[in-house]
Amino acid sequence: MASTAPDSAPALPVPQLPLGEAFVLLQTTVERLRSDQGCPWDRQQTPASLIPYLLEEVYEVIESIEANDSQGLKEELGDLLLHIVFQSRIAEEQRQFTLAESIQAVVAKLIRRHPHVFGDVLLQDTTAIRQRWETAKQREKGRASLLDGVPRTLPALTRARRMQEKAASVGFDWPDIAPVWAKVEEELGELRDAQAAADPEAIAEEFGDVLFSLVNLGRFLHLSAEDTLRQAIAKFETRFRGIEQELARRGRRLEEASLEEMDAIWNHLRQQDHAKRLPL
């Protein structure tokens, strides 16, 4: 949890405790922070006020996974676990539910939705397993639509992927990747037509359709549009910083350089990246 204190206490050695004891230690530490003798900032927090910090921790977990940083992942998972314990502590103070009840509920759900593991249902095909899970989830939650429950606050690319996955789980999907490619090309053609017609509303709609079709193509290629776009952004950032550094080495600033000069540096950096990926 973030602290606004100018000075931090010295780091204490972390004892190597069994899992149960370590978890109880985290719970009691959070209880102390929320108590009258605890931290004023922590006492002021509400479930809603913690949302920005919770989202930040989730993305830091993702960054550690993508960077294959096991030490960073260890730390970030701890920070994420802190938020789970913190949220459940507030709920318990308000007599809504306890963390134990939350844990028991998810264990019961896992057992209920995996009858092929904990029961006598014979299922090995992952598609059938996924379909059974989605159908059970819809029935248990009393949802009118299979698409209900996909959070509207998800990043748009991720939400598009989840919508497509849910529809695919009941057979509403292309049989193979060929028509998916055709759909992408169709949507690109419609975007070009809208642009040629100078129709702003149609351009916006068709651009969205292109993005949705590319998310679907990524799904068939077993790629996450969200993840690959983040990787592309990181690559752009690295190369653009490279342009800045090369210009600085030449004693020049960005605003002094021509597009041709910057483009030449970009292409050189691009060639270097490609050379690194070639087998020796």
Percentage of the chain exceeding pLDDT 70: 94
Say whether pLDDT at 12 is over 60. Answer: no
Mark which of 62, 84, 102 sits at the end of a domain.
102
Say whether pLDDT at 5 is over 50. Answer: no
Distance CA 46, CA 120 (A): 44
Say whether pLDDT at 40 is over 80. Answer: yes
pLDDT at 14: 61
Give the number of C-alpha atoms closer than 13 A to the C-alpha of residue 218, restricted to the C-beta side.
19
Q: Domain of 265? A: 226-275
Looking at the domain assignment, is residue 132 inside a domain? Answer: no
- The model's pTM is 0.67
Q: In the predicted model, what is the mean pLDDT of residues 26-43? A: 96
Looking at the domain assignment, is residue 179 inside a domain? Answer: no
Mark which of 77, 102, 127 sits at the end of a domain.
102
Say whether pLDDT at 4 is over 70. Answer: no
| Largest CA-CA distance found in the chain, in angstroms, rounded | 73
Say whether pLDDT at 280 is over 60. Answer: no
In the numeric block, the tokens 């020049």 are attached to: 252
Please state the domain count of the chain: 2
pLDDT at 132: 78
pLDDT at 259: 95
